[in-house]
Amino acid sequence: MKTIGLIGGMSWESSAIYYELLNKLVKDKLGGYHSAKSVMVSVDFAEIEKLQKKDDWKALTKHMIASSKQLERAGADFIILCTNTMHLCSEEIINNTTIPFLHIADATAGKIKSKGLRKVALLGTKFTMEKDFYKTILHKYGIEVIIPELVDREQIHRIIYDELVLGKIEDDSRETFKHIIAKLKNDGAEGVVLGCTEIPLLIQQNDVDLPIFNTTEIHAEKAVQMALEV
């Protein structure tokens, strides 16, 4: 079994879910007392959030490179980044490490393709929805991406940072997400990418009538597959 390297702490709530999923998936596949071999570097999210607000991606990239190199020194065989937004730094992580990097959007695109969908809505932080780093990979797989209108993007971003990353789950916010998803369905979305690892804390499949793609689960499943490949 390969050792999975995790960059976590963004937020720690979603990182804890990653850790739980990885171990459950390995046990499901191998049985007995098996669990995932892993190493995690967990950052202080307050530092990251402050730099995100400043839009200082140069400094953020330095943080991610340092964490990746720390994982490499610790003996990780490959790296997963336990957050969607910080994949903005993925190219530099890849360029500054010698072990493989499993991109969350590649894993997600593969799952969408397996379901035969061609047009999906992307929900996440404003960085994820508005910048091209995520959409470009989905487009590479022939998947059309639509995003909510500006006022809805601002609502989603606020809920993520003011509530979800702080562990707050509010019913009113769930209704807001459901309303936004209904509008995206009317715009032709065949499925919804939960492109923030905190959103699945709020939205589950039974909340909406479109297929949802829980990027945390998809990423963890692909990581376990890589870890168990001979």
* 83 in catalytic set: yes
To the query of whether residue 215 is one of the catalytic residues in this protein, the response is: no
- Helix 215-228 to helix 104-114 angle (10° resolution) is 100
CA distance linking residue 132 with residue 111, whole number of Å: 20
The residue annotated as part of the active site, out of 61, 83, 97, 216, is: 83
Taking CA atoms, 157 is separated from 123, 139, 154, 176, in Å, by 9, 23, 5, 12
Q: Exactly one of 196, 197, 215, 216 is catalytic; which is it?
A: 196
* Structural element, H or E, at residue 193: strand 191-194
How far apart are alpha carbons 12 and 167 in whole angstroms?
Answer: 9
78's enclosing H/E stretch is strand 78-81
Residues classed as catalytic: 83, 196
